[in-house]
């Protein structure tokens, strides 16, 4: 059985070098993270479970587009003007769709659907251009092109549907959105079998670095959000949540980097799917938790603690962070190691806080959220100490 040191100190495989990464892949990361944050802000206007589900669907869609575009670009390692123009068009489309998403609980007009259609169409075209980079077996590449094209057509159809059309009391556009998202996710998942093949796994370490970098940009973006929120005011309305925002970023960074970030892509298909799922949950929950703490840091007490029936932020995103870290730790260690036990206890404790925060009033709920950040920080410190001890 492999130890932590054996797993995290694996030699890097030859293949694509960081210097060969196309420039628009780096640019694309920044645009995607900005779209994550913009989408997560929807919860502020209407903090309910329904909105939470829609935010998760939006981030899953953007994450899937990011995964396809990034991995396809890294595998081909090409950067022609054709690739650049298509990539720039896709980034512009994602920005437009994120702006549309940020206006309410759903895509309220045809601009959002049209932009998503363009973004998915760009992904399909880029995949087609890179079809020779995956070797002789092109069946999964063809399937990915078909699914991404289908998703593009589904979103394009949404531009002609009125928001007033309902089905079962739910706007029909919501069904269209999730149908397009499902097709996009199905297309993105066809990447995993190709990545575990020996012909493409030589580039696995660089691809793994990209997954770590997208999380790193999410964490870095939190400081920009914090500065934009409280940096221009004469006073800081909620200094405790400023501290909580910083502790939250530290905890996520300390638990993921470097040990989990250095774990190589598995040669087992199931484990690779599982690793991708855990990474998405971590990105999703980190984005939402960071936006929550930042929002509360800039909100005056009179508004923060007002009792409403719409719902409040809870510690649920924090428990999802702990759960995703536990998930990846188990995949890495392949046993219930000491760090895994710490993550398990933390996930259970924070989830209990999230459940207690649902029926609580605003002040109690936000107090539990602060406590959850504290638990996550302690978890990070313990995990780092235990991991360092295992490596030594």
Return the bridge partners of 166, or none: 171
214/361 same-domain check: yes
186/75 same-domain check: yes
Looking at per-residue pLDDT, the higher value among 3 and 20 belongs to 20
pLDDT of residue 37: 83
229/323 same-domain check: yes
302/226 same-domain check: yes
187/245 same-domain check: no
Answer yes or no: is 211 within a domain: yes
- Candidates 87, 180, 176, 179; CA nearest to 127 is 87
CA distance 331 to 327: 6
Q: Which of 201, 231, 255 is the last residue of a domain?
A: 201
Q: Which of 141, 176, 201 is the last residue of a domain?
A: 201
Looking at per-residue pLDDT, the higher value among 262 and 182 belongs to 182
Number of domains forming the structure of the chain: 2
Answer yes or no: is 3 within a domain: no
pLDDT tens digit string along 292-315?
888 888 877 766 666 554 556 778
125/238 same-domain check: no
pLDDT of residue 129: 86
220/295 same-domain check: yes
173/308 same-domain check: no
How large a percentage of the chain has pLDDT more than 90?
Answer: 35
Looking at per-residue pLDDT, the higher value among 354 and 43 belongs to 354
DSSP letter for 166, please. E
332/212 same-domain check: yes
341/306 same-domain check: yes
- Candidates 245, 254, 196; CA nearest to 224 is 245
Reply yes or no on whether the pLDDT at 50 is more than 60.
yes
pLDDT tens digit string along 142-167?
999 999 999 999 999 988 888 788 88
DSSP string of 362-375, one letter each residue: HHHHHHHHHHHHHH
Reply yes or no on whether the pLDDT at 342 is more than 90.
yes
Answer yes or no: is 1 within a domain: no
Q: What is the largest CA-CA distance in the chain?
A: 64
Radius of gyration (C-alpha) of the chain in whole angstroms: 21
- Asked if 300 and 329 count as a contact pair (C-beta separation under 8 A), the reply is no
Range of the domain at 227: 207-391
Answer yes or no: is 273 within a domain: yes
- What is the CATH classification number for the domain harbouring 376? 1.20.1410
191/320 same-domain check: no
249/127 same-domain check: no
pLDDT tens digit string along 94-121?
988 888 865 544 445 678 899 999 999 9
Q: Which of 201, 219, 250 is the last residue of a domain?
A: 201
Q: Average pLDDT, whole number, for the chain? A: 82
pLDDT of residue 228: 76
């Amino acid at each position: 059985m492999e130890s932590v040191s054996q797993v995290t100190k694996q030699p890097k495989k030859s293949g694509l070098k960081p210097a060969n990464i196309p420039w628009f892949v780096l640019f694309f990361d920044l645009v995607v993270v900005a779209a994550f944050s913009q989408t997560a802000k929807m919860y502020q206007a209407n903090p309910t479970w329904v909105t939470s589900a829609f935010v998760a669907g939006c981030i899953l869609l953007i994450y899937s587009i990011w995964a396809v575009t990034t991995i396809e670009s890294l595998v081909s390692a090409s950067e022609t003007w054709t690739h650049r123009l298509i990539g720039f068009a896709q980034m512009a489309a994602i920005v437009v769709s994120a702006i549309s998403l940020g206006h309410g609980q759903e895509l309220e007009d045809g601009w959002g659907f049209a932009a998503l259609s363009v973004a998915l169409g760009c992904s399909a075209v880029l995949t087609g251009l890179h079809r020779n980079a995956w070797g002789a077996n092109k069946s999964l590449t063809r399937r990915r092109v078909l699914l991404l094209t289908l998703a593009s057509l589904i979103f394009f159809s949404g531009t002609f549907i009125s928001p007033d059309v309902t089905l079962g009391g739910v706007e029909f556009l919501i069904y269209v959105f999730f149908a397009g998202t499902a097709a996009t996710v199905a297309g993105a998942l066809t990447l995993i079998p190709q990545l575990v093949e020996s012909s493409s796994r030589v580039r696995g370490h660089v691809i793994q670095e990209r997954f770590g970098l997208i999380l790193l940009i999410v964490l870095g973006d939190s400081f920009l959000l914090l500065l934009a929120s409280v940096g221009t005011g004469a006073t800081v309305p909620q200094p405790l949540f400023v501290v909580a925002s910083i502790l939250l970023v530290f905890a996520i960074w300390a638990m993921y980097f470097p040990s989990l970030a250095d774990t190589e892509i598995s040669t087992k298909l199931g484990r690779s799917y599982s690793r991708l799922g855990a990474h998405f949950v971590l990105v999703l929950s980190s984005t939402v938790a960071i936006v929550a703490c930042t929002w509360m840091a800039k909100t005056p007490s009179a508004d923060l603690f007002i009792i409403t029936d719409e719902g409040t932020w809870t510690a649920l995103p924090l428990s999802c962070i702990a759960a995703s870290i536990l998930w990846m730790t188990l995949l890495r260690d392949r046993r219930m190691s000491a760090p895994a036990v710490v993550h398990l206890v933390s996930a259970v404790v924070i989830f209990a806080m999230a459940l207690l925060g649902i029926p609580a009033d605003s002040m109690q709920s936000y107090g539990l959220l602060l406590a959850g950040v504290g638990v996550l920080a302690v978890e990070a410190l313990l995990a780092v100490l235990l991991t360092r001890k295992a490596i030594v």
